[in-house]
Chains A and B, each alone.
Chain A
Amino acid sequence: MKKTIFFAGVFIIVSLSLLPFLWFVNTSLKTSIEITSIPPALIPSGTLASYRSAIEEYDLMHFVRNSIIIAGITTLFTILISVITGYAIGRLRFKYKGLFMGSLLAVSMFPQISIAGPVWRILQQLGWLNSYQGLIIPYITLTLPLGVWILASFFKDLPPELEAAARVDGCSHFQTLFRIIIPLSTPGVFTAAILVFIYAWNEFFFALLIMTQRDFQPLPVGIALFQGQYTMPWGEIAAASTVSTIPLVLMVFIFQKRIISGLTSGAVKG
């Protein structure tokens, strides 16, 4: 009896988590008549018409390309900087470390609007509105706290003797970092990279402000602004949504342990 209730509970939360999105995937595989029919068609005809139209009429693939470029380069740079910053915070002693980490974490709590106007102005003056670097640079800034936090907690858990042993072997500070620590940091780097990538892939607010021209817009902006001439193009929106979400769903199913450890790192231990 107890077991039945338990599995019923699990079944309910899993269904609630998946069904709304599956309904949207389902919609993406329907004809436009099926989409508006009452009662709704539970089983779609499986047509790829919405995908074709999203690609041909709404230029879906160029949004995909922009998203890959922006999220990919952001992840690369954020990780490079997070490794060295995280190493300093996780393993080295210096004055005002608490203040440094505190202000970094504060950045992750800023409401985006509180910096949006000035960031927009700075980018405008640099001529970087509607350019990849114009969005990548704010993204690096906003994802740094996450990357540094994950890597700093990862480095902290490595054995404390590493530096001393390297010193005995005659390694300089830089050699210790590049020859000993960085090769050991793969698991932490991987975890941080997944979370940073997901953030950059999903971000909408800054992408909306900075990319006003279609040429540079990433997927979320494209999906939010899909507009039909007379009716909402629900099939195309659902198709584009499915395309932008599938890589994330795959990541969640393959890397869930890493994602969970990254999200909760430091949350419990303090």
Chain B
Amino acid sequence: MRFSAAAREKVFVAALLTPGLLFVVTFAFYPILYSVYLSLHRIVLGIPSLGRPFTGIDNYLRLLEDRVALHSLINTLLFVFTTTGFEILCGLIIAILINRSFKGRGIARAAILVPWAIPTVVSSQMWRFIFNDKYGLLNYIFYGNDTHAYTAWLAHPATAFAAIVIADVWKTSSFAGLIILAGLQVIPDELYRAARIDGASPWQQFRRITLPLIKPAILIALLFRTVDAFRVFDLVFVMTQGGPADSTNVLQFYGYKKIFTEGLMGYGSTISVFVFIISLVVSLLYIRVVGTRLFREK
């Protein structure tokens, strides 16, 4: 039996796509649906005698009244806004500095990439040590030898939250910087030359040429960073365990607590579904904005 060329190509494409599809469907898409299923049941790990009674939307109603969940939603949103804001700002500065060619640029660029490469658990332990109340570097920088003034930064709600923001901005600004840098590098030099001839000041050049042309790159950096900030976990787990008084409790950490330390597979899955929907909405929103922008330019 002989197949036509077109049929053979179809079989070929299917063969190429199958392995990847298998992984993604089994371990990413099916689990999402499974989460939805679990969220409609009452399941407590460790009490199998309970069975898994179907409870409809009970878990979702419970979520609406859960103050800690609301608190962690607010914390997550606050974390997303502050970190992405600072990261884009720092990234912009990094990109502008590194865009110029100078001696040692390669080494400077590699040095800036180091925080990005460090495992988050490691950078979290590192910052936890710097913020330490008894012998942390930060206390020494602020108060010197006056150990009575030393502050337990991670034990106060506002400073603990600031600490995880700082740790995140330190680690991921370089990533934002690289994306923005890639955007800067495609701006043709002639534009700046023409602007200079017309007598534009450096600030005007930045406002009128640089900023509009790197907007797509900024949006992409913003998208990646937002998605990532939504699932912050390692920092919170290592530095604060969500405390003090839930001031650094974030959605992903809260869901983890419910499912894996309290064993509430059903209710925890409700939080999972909720987190999934929020981040899906945010990404779709961004992709719409970024996508249309990119297609218009093409």
Q: Which residues of A line the B interface, CB within 8 A?
A: 6-7, 9-10, 13-14, 16-18, 20-21, 23-24, 27, 35-40, 81-82, 84-85, 87-88, 92, 94, 100, 103-104, 106-107, 109-122, 137-138, 140-142, 144, 148, 173-174, 177, 198, 201-202, 204-205, 208-209, 219-221, 223-224, 234, 237-238, 241, 244-245, 248-249, 251-253, 256, 259-260, 263-264, 267-268, 270
Stretch touching chain A among B54-62, B101-109, B190-198: B101-109
Residues of A within 8 A of B140 (CB): 38-40
Interface flag for B134 (CB, 8 Å): yes
Q: Which residues of B line the A interface, CB within 8 A?
A: 8-10, 12-13, 16-17, 19-20, 23-24, 26-32, 34-35, 38, 93-94, 97-98, 100, 102, 106-115, 117-127, 129-130, 134-135, 137, 140, 144-145, 147, 170, 174-175, 178-179, 181-183, 186, 216-217, 220-221, 227, 230-231, 233-234, 237-238, 251-252, 255-256, 259-260, 265, 268-269, 271-273, 275-276, 279-280, 283, 294-295, 297-298
10 A-B pairs with CB atoms under 8 Å apart are A10-B97, A10-B108, A35-B135, A39-B144, A106-B283, A141-B24, A204-B234, A238-B126, A256-B106, A267-B220
CA distance A238 to B137 in the complex (A): 14
Does B127 lie within 8 Å of A20, measured CB to CB?
A: yes
Does A148 lie within 8 Å of B20, measured CB to CB?
A: yes
| Chain B residue nearest to A108 in the complex (CB) | B227
Contact of A82 among B13, B20, B29 (CB under 8 A): B20
Residues of A within 8 A of B231 (CB): 111-113
| Chain B residue nearest to A241 in the complex (CB) | B122
Does A204 lie within 8 Å of B273, measured CB to CB?
A: no
Q: Which of B106, B127, B182, B276 has the most CB of A within 10 A?
A: B182
Residues of A within 8 A of B135 (CB): 35-38, 40
Contact of B119 among A103, A122, A245, A267 (CB under 8 A): A245
- Taking the closest CB of chain B, its distance from the CB of A126, in whole angstroms, is 11
Residues of B within 8 A of A221 (CB): 121
CA distance A122 to B183 in the complex (A): 42
Listed from nearest, the 3 A-B pairs whose CB atoms lie closest are: A114-B276, A118-B31, A118-B34
